Structure 1
Amino acid sequence: MALTLSFACWDYDRMKALEDGRVRPEGIQLNFLNYRVEETFFRQLRFQEFDVSELSLSSYVLTLNQEDPPFIAVPVFPSRFFRHQSMYINSHSGISSPSDLKGKKIGIPEYQMTAAVWQRGIMEEEFGVPVTSVEFFTGAIEESAEERRTKVHHSLPEGVSVTPIKPSQNLSQLLADGEIDAIFSATKPSSFDTCDHVTHLFPNFKQVEAEYFKRTGIFPIMHVVAIKRSVYNANLWIAKTLTKAFQKSLDIAYEAIQERAALRYMLPWLEEHVSETQALMGQERWWQDGFRENKHVLDKFLEYSFEQGLAKRKFEAHELFAPSTLESFVV
């Protein structure tokens, strides 16, 4: 009899074959629950509602601070994103280069969110803007958004300034009004579309991100897939089995994006975009799961997490994952 597992994840193209049943993990009946990431993260981190789920990389690392960590991950990364493009500024704030952020006020939804960890790390390492040289303000990006709730509690390092905004305020409007100077986020603030003076920190972000990848080989990881540790401990075999199934689903997503007889996606120049991405990233497959393939990315994130006072120590990349998944995929 197959083991029934619930799996909460957004319906990314690389997950569709698992959602619709074209891929079935051996010995597992996977109940795919299509939730947006905020709902999945909150319900899993607060209440551990799902056997398997997509999780914020940063939040997952924070759970490893606990004496008995509730989850164990597999090296599958549902979300990746270059984050230079998600830094916004008020052009009236005297910011003409990233180094001008020193002494400024920066809005972030949460101090611990993965996007912000990457953005702060890049600002300090690449542009000489330490986390202690700015003031952070946390809260909702938009007026209509729910108040951002901390899902995994953490302390702040000495010298880091983080102030919650008022419940009646939102970061997008504060940026437009000049009460903060920048926003580091995952989403675009609405004031970017309504105010001429709200713009990108990096207007040529595509060029900047391409250069960053060429130099570092880093395509930032945002999310992992994590198994509830009690479920894993009772069924050690599921980590490798699930990992193989995720790889098959990713293979099918690549097949779909390469289809040329008719467009599977609503992008008229999809073929050119794919070719451009392959030329830049120097590989047939620019989106790769697997531990060895991504160890350098994970090492950098874990360095940033520790330096920013989130991880209790500098974890080694292999500590994040079930031991049986550390070898390259064999499907």
Structure 2
Amino acid sequence: MKKITVALTNKHYDVLIEKGLLNNAGKLISSVWAPRKVAIVSDDNVAPLYQQQLADQLTNNGFTVHCYQFPAGEASKSLSQLQTLAQQLVTDNFNRDDGVVALGGGVTGDLAGFLAATYMRGISLIQVPTSLLAQVDSSVGGKTAVDLGTTKNIVGSFYEPDLVLIDPTTLKTLTQRDLVEGYGEIVKVAAMTGGNFWQLIEKIESPTDILANAMSLSEGSIQFKADIVMADEKEGGQRQLLNFGHTIGHAVEALANGKLRHGEAVSIGTVAICQDFEEAGKTVAGVTAKIRTQLAAVGLPVSSPLLSSPQILDKIKHDKKNHNGHLNLVYIKKIGQPAILTVPENQISNTLKVPRQ
């Protein structure tokens, strides 16, 4: 079993990674939580696969379990769905000594995490991510949120879990599109990390290779993110590096109106910003081609007609990471060397070639 410890000023928790870990989840959870009432929150895709298994594990270890489901998809990451789940907790008499287990992908982790963060001003939370995107990215770092319309993650909080349990065998039940979506975030991290992690990425040539190397891919991604979060929990400085590929990616995702997954948009955004900075001489020549090749190898999109939309610049300017009229653009000087360039909002179009002609 791989263990990565996230040690923050006021919180310590472990991320455990092991094939077949769900078969032992009840015992692992009981090592950090005393018996209590637990809400297992899943969407209606994941719940039929793993919810009862986890419920049985917890029941066998002395917990009282309630299973909640919500409709799968980004549309459920809303204040109305949050209210529905909170009302279920009220109906089942949950109190501050109880807990929420987020079992599922990124939407579940964000939604159930924000539920735990806000119910009675905060109850205990454990993340059990079942998608690659959630395992390598959203389950670690404490970001929880819901969307307002097409504005992603605009209402939320930083709320760290007590434990993160990652079982790579859950990836086998994903569709190929759902699997490779998470790989967009992995390549983003590896490009910033360089070294052995990037060398591993260069060996990934298909979705099958992702599954075969899932343990190592998760460990490398999570260790990088954990190090960043421990240095900058609330995104005041270094944590902004995790936004590499997201400035353009979020804009493309919003314009796609649900037709692009988050990881797919990040893939497009990563290539686009690398191309812009390479053309400006700030990124070493050839880096964009390397990243594009690795993303395309598993079937991720590396460009989009939406990059030519007249609306994309407005979406970028109104990104929630806009600070007092400035955007901090994350790029890489070369593989393994990330950097941040602060650009005034009125000069974004001079730095990013959007909309593209």
Q: TM-score per shorter chain, which class?
A: under 0.3
User: Which structure shows the bigger proportion of residues in helix conformation?
Assistant: 2
Please give the TM-score of this superposition, normalised by the length of structure 2. 0.24
Bigger fraction of residues in strand: 2
